Structure 1
Amino acid sequence: MRLSVTSWSFPALTLPEVAGVAKALGIPAIDVGLFYRSAIDKAGILSDPKAAAERLSGLGVGIANYYHLFGDGLGDRNLALPGTAEANARDLEQVLAFAEAAGIPTVFLLPGIVNPGQSREQAARVATDNLRVLLDVPGARDRICIEPHVQSWAESPALVRRLIDGTGVRLALDYAHFACLGYRQEEVDPLAPHAAHVHLRQAKPGALQAKFAQGTLNFSAMFGTLRDAGYDGFLALEAVHQDYMGTLYDDVLTETVALRDAFHAWEGNA
């Protein structure tokens, strides 16, 4: 396992500046996405994937993961919305070409929300059907993964397991989303064998993000669970400063360093 840091952790920084912070912290890779000053150009990815990949060269760090949204925001063209599969599959072809050209091992998508007029069960069925279409795109099974998150339809380990069983999809696993909703860490551990990418931040019931010393996640136990499950991918440090679920109030750099040090301390004694 090795570390990366998410570019959206530092909303005021450009992508080269995020890469510079990662290098200064001894973190070999960054995750890229479509948000804040470090955003990459989605229109460019969809129109010319190779040129978009070339624009990432010269950062001096690896690219661990790309976070893609098909639409504008969490609701637009989300995976649980009927009638979106064909357009999303076309876009995914370009996204995968971009990831291949840029040497990005994984691309994470969101599972979708409970859309107006839907029940959670209906959203789950539509998302499962739409995801099967996406996984049929050449190369998709090797690269894409889904991040279950608060306010999606997939908010419990049981629902996530149903999605895995129904599609074979792998996960961008973030224990914080489950801890926020009150699930114990041991209830999330069975998802570890299905991880293709992992996000790290401290959390506790009712708080998606907590200061390192004030949360309930046991990172040493988490690292051991992932190792025992055979996980050998990136651990993305994802402390954030966002106007989303009370995550505006932490010192992101301090929390990033605390997470980094926790992993290195465990790694040194593993």
Structure 2
Amino acid sequence: MPTQIPLSCGDHSFRLLEHEHALALIKMLGIDRLDLAVMSNVSHVRPEAVSADVPGWADLVRARLDAAGLELADVFVIPGPDFATRAPNHPDPAEQAASRAMFSATLDLADRLGAPGMTMLPGLAWEDREADLARSAKELQWRAEAARERGLRFSIEPHLESIADTPARALALLEQAPDLELTLDYSHFVAQGIDPEEVHPLIPRTRHLHARGSRPGKGQCGLRENTIDYRDLVGRLQRSGYGGHIAVEYVWTLWAEMNRCDNLSETVLLRDALRAWLADEDWSYPDHAA
């Protein structure tokens, strides 16, 4: 029997809804695991607020999870309103200190909630890419060790515009941070025209996976236009012994024009496709107009 991999969904897919309604919707979709977004200025739960009262927010989020009947799959933290603010490899020591403080607060939240792991971003290329990569690796290795001491796994998402914006650069970062893992999203590479074959070597260091439609030139698109072979990717994950989740992650944001999808319909379509492929069954795009 094919190895089953549980699906999850992020509350940031439906951030225009009240938080309780977003969680209830995810449960109504038949998805029992949540990727909790803790993102500055854009998510239901904000890192600035969490930092001011970790126990209070842990109690509040736990009550919301229990009411919706959801378990946590991941906590995804973006600590600033842009990629530069509180980046882990920021060249300004004051920003570095603020970044570490926010990491510590949100790690405490993830621990109190019983999350299996936590995702953050890798940092930016500032002026000296080699030095910037080394600074990022040193800080992220420290964070991975700190998370492990709390019983959590820690990963970064290589993404567009980051220090790890290509598979080769992501691997170079991992080489310098041996305990760091990945939250892998093929769309950030495919949108740049990078062949998925170049991304597959990242699978062995992957603990969490984001999935959405993408094609060259588009970081997010409907499944009909998608060029990522998710059936092939599911098979690769199963054969590798992957033990994490697949998060159906359609987002709604102005960045990279990721506000042009019907998130609800596309989440349902990709959910159904992934369920079929995880069971080694065929799936075809429905034609309800017929």
Q: Do the structures match in fold with TM over 0.5?
A: yes
Cα 1:38–1:134 shift into 2, 3 Å = closer
Alignment map for 1:63-102 (pairs within 5 Å):
63-82=72-91, 83=93, 84-102=95-113
* 1:38 CA drift (Å): 5.0
Is residue 2:195 matched to residue 1:195? no
| Counterpart in the other structure of 1:2 | 6
Per-residue Cα deviation, 1:25-48 (whole angstroms, up to 9, x for no partner): 100122122357751142343244
* 1:148 CA drift (Å): 0.3
Contact persistence 2:147–2:153 (CA under 8 A)? no
Cα 1:138–1:22 shift into 2, 3 Å = closer
* 1:257 CA drift (Å): 0.8
Is residue 2:242 matched to residue 1:238? no
| Counterpart in the other structure of 2:125 | 114
| Counterpart in the other structure of 2:134 | 125
Is residue 2:214 matched to residue 1:209? no
TM-score (norm 2): 0.85
Is residue 2:226 matched to residue 1:222? no
Identity of aligned residues (%): 29
Say which of 50, 55, 58 aligns to 1:53. Answer: 58
Give 2:265's aligned amino acid.
Answer: T
Across the aligned residues of Structure 1 and Structure 2, the Cα RMSD in angstroms comes to 2.0
1 CA distance for matches of 2:138 and 2:68? 38
Is residue 2:158 matched to residue 1:148? yes
Cα 1:125–1:43 shift into 2, 3 Å = same
Is residue 2:32 matched to residue 1:39? no
Give 2:262's aligned amino acid.
Answer: D
Per-residue Cα deviation, 1:14-64 (whole angstroms, up to 9, x for no partner): 221111111111001221223577511423432443332111123321122
Contact persistence 1:5–1:30 (CA under 8 A)? yes
| Counterpart in the other structure of 2:191 | 180
Cα 1:37–1:69 shift into 2, 3 Å = closer
* 1:191 CA drift (Å): 0.6
Cα 1:37–1:131 shift into 2, 3 Å = closer
Contact persistence 1:14–1:37 (CA under 8 A)? no
5+ residue gaps, structure 2, are 282-290
2 CA distance for matches of 1:133 and 1:103? 21
Give 2:82's aligned amino acid.
Answer: G
1 CA distance for matches of 2:185 and 2:147? 26
* 1:136 CA drift (Å): 3.7
2 CA distance for matches of 1:149 and 1:52? 28
* 1:268 CA drift (Å): 2.2
Q: How many residues align?
A: 268
Contact persistence 2:27–2:68 (CA under 8 A)? no
| Counterpart in the other structure of 1:264 | 275
Per-residue Cα deviation, 1:113-140 (whole angstroms, up to 9, x for no partner): 123xx13333212211222332342536
Say which of 4, 8, 15 aligns to 1:11. Answer: 15
TM-score (norm 1): 0.91
1 CA distance for matches of 2:181 and 2:187? 18
Give 1:226's aligned amino acid.
Answer: L
2 CA distance for matches of 1:135 and 1:61? 26
SS at match of 2:68: coil
| Counterpart in the other structure of 1:166 | 176
Contact persistence 1:88–1:134 (CA under 8 A)? no
